[in-house]
Amino acid sequence: MSEKKVFSYNWGGRQLTVEIGQLAKQANGAVLVRYGDTVVLTAAVGTKQAKDTDFFPLTVNYEEKMYAAGKIPGGFIKREGRPSEHATLTARLIDRPIRPMFAEGFRNEVQITNTVMSVDPNCPPEMAAMFGSSLALCISDIPFDGPIAGVDVGRVNGEYVINPTTEQKENSDIELSVAGTATAINMVESSAKEVNEEDMLGALLFGHEEIKKLVAFQEEIVREVGKEKMEVILLSFDPAIEAQVKDLFSQAMIHAIQTEEKLAREANIEKVKETAIEHFEAVLEENDEKAGLLKQVSQIVDNLEKDEVRRLITEEKVRPDGRKIDEIRPLSSEIDLLPRVHGSGLFTRGQTQALTSATLAPLGEYQVIDGLGIEEGKRFIHHYNFPQFSVGSVGRAGSPGRREIGHGALGERALKQVIPSPEDFPYTIRLVSEVLESNGSSSQASICAGTLALMAAGVPIKAPVAGIAMGLISDGTNYTVLTDIQGLEDHLGDMDFKVAGTKDGITALQMDIKIQGITEQILREALTQAKKARFEILEELTSTIAEPRKELSPYAPKIEMI
């Protein structure tokens, strides 16, 4: 029986204790994290063999056990079922800073399971689970380039606070989760009450200072109990075939990439791939490893597409659709497309289009949230739907996946800040955004369409909200920040940094990156460019409807205040 090891650290004025060696010993790495009275068990497991796939098969689970809050699950079965929306969002929150920390070409399956076993309302289990996920990987034999850590940041009476208590959150104008390494930030999730860019950057940097300390604490633990990392085979290609593909097809790929229209560009890129495969089918006719090498050709062409897109942007400042680095795609907006709904707005940016409908109902129809906290409800809801026809594909239709839940929640956070109080507007409000076309930034299009729908419905919002997605192409030395990234730039770039807000400040942020971190300079530049773009989009929205209507739709319920 292995000896239990215990390590402690003062985290935001509360005790963080890590126990290793007693529980879940058959996992590659497992830790029990105690933060105040919050307890999370994290286990990391990885396969010894790589999977034959073109992506890294990482799964992060965040399991909320109702006993952790002294509750019995509701419903007939009285047992935990599918993950709650909050659990889904938290799993995504943990996945995002961890995923970039695995080596390029790593294809072994990895699963991280976070089980919340006890909850202290003043000690966030989400950040304890993120800490545990990083540490479980670091002490395991799974190759991982961590540690990473994350913290919550609030601002109360002008002072930044690490992991604010429940009471502090009620008085905070910033709600920020930030993660990173000892040297850089690599994940951001935030809502804010119209906070300016400089103050938001200050919150990010304040959080990163605490992250550095948490990373150092993990490194201390790894030195004492960390396992030797297993040897793994990373995905690689035959160098001779790789050189031939680049020599023969680079010019054709450059030409295909610079096709302005999305579907035509995709068809041209696919044609390059088909031509390359046909060429090597003939070349490799007598080769016993023909099937495996042809699969490599397909993947090498994909990499060639990525390399050329990035090179054109970095060296020549040329984007696939010909725009300038800080140029937004053509904008258009419209209201009242749907005659019987309480309010509707259509927003189009290039080949991305969202139609949002607003529905008003009595306050009694608010959504009840039965989670690990005190049972509560919300009267403003935003749902996001992404049908496959929006990208010209055939696919599954059903309940929303993690991505749709995440995009809906981001839009909800961005717009929630301008929703009037129940005293001023005694209605439950539901927005539903249908993405009708997508070529990048559909979540931000849903925010813009949501603003139009709210104003058309007569909801007296405090100010219009617009959203923009920023991108990054970096070669380690030089970098380029892109405004209003399209799908190809998102897929092949290093960053997706979404910024939403009013003319007075930021209401929501979300950042995902594929590299191990970005600097303060890049953050500052991205926020500055995003502000300029946001103002341009707000002009478009207010040219369509300048202010909320004074009258509700004749089909909306009428409520009189007595």
pLDDT single digits (tens) 41-57 = 999 999 999 998 889 99
Stretch 384-402: mean pLDDT: 91
Residue 562 has pLDDT above 70, yes or no: no
Cβ pair 530, 470 in contact under 8 A: yes
β-bridge pairing 506-513 and 185-195: antiparallel
The per-residue pLDDT of the chain, averaged, comes to 94
At residue 74, the pLDDT reads 81
Residue 354 has pLDDT above 80, yes or no: yes
Residue 429 has pLDDT above 80, yes or no: yes
Q: Give the pLDDT band of residue 397 (cuts 50, 70, 90).
A: confident
At residue 376, the pLDDT reads 76
Segment of 178-182, 309-313, 517-521, 558-562 carrying the highest mean pLDDT? 178-182
Report percent pLDDT > 70 for the chain.
Answer: 99
Task: Write the single-letter amino acid at 387.
Answer: P
Backbone angles phi, psi at 393, to 5 degrees: -120, 160
State the CB neighbour count (10 A cutoff) for residue 242. Answer: 17
Residue 323 has pLDDT above 70, yes or no: yes
CA 513, 163, 153, 67 torsion-angle sign: positive
Task: Give me 59's structure tokens.
Answer: 């799964």
Q: Give the pLDDT band of residue 246 (cuts 50, 70, 90).
A: very high
Q: Cα angle vertex 380, ends 173, 453, to 5°?
A: 105
At residue 291, the pLDDT reads 83
Residue 374 has pLDDT above 80, yes or no: no
Q: Give the pLDDT band of residue 416 (cuts 50, 70, 90).
A: very high
Residue 509 has pLDDT above 90, yes or no: yes
Distance of alpha carbon 202 from alpha carbon 182, whole angstroms: 17
β-bridge pairing 376-378 and 38-50: unpaired
At residue 75, the pLDDT reads 80
Domains parsed from the chain with CATH numbers: 5-225 (3.30.230.70), 239-316 (1.10.10.400), 331-544 (3.30.230.70)
At residue 560, the pLDDT reads 75
Stretch 106-114: mean pLDDT: 98
pTM over 0.85: yes
Distance of alpha carbon 164 from alpha carbon 169, whole angstroms: 6
Stretch 155-177: mean pLDDT: 96
Q: Give the pLDDT band of residue 375 (cuts 50, 70, 90).
A: low
What is the number of alpha carbons within 13 Å of residue 338 lying toward its C-beta?
A: 19
At residue 1, the pLDDT reads 44
Stretch 188-198: mean pLDDT: 97
Higher pLDDT, 58 or 82: 58
At residue 399, the pLDDT reads 87
Distance of alpha carbon 305 from alpha carbon 265, whole angstroms: 11
Backbone angles phi, psi at 252, to 5 degrees: -65, -40
Residue 368 has pLDDT above 90, yes or no: no
Residue 152 has pLDDT above 80, yes or no: yes
- Would you call 286 exposed, middle or buried from its count of C-beta atoms within 10 A (0-12, 13-18, 19+)? exposed
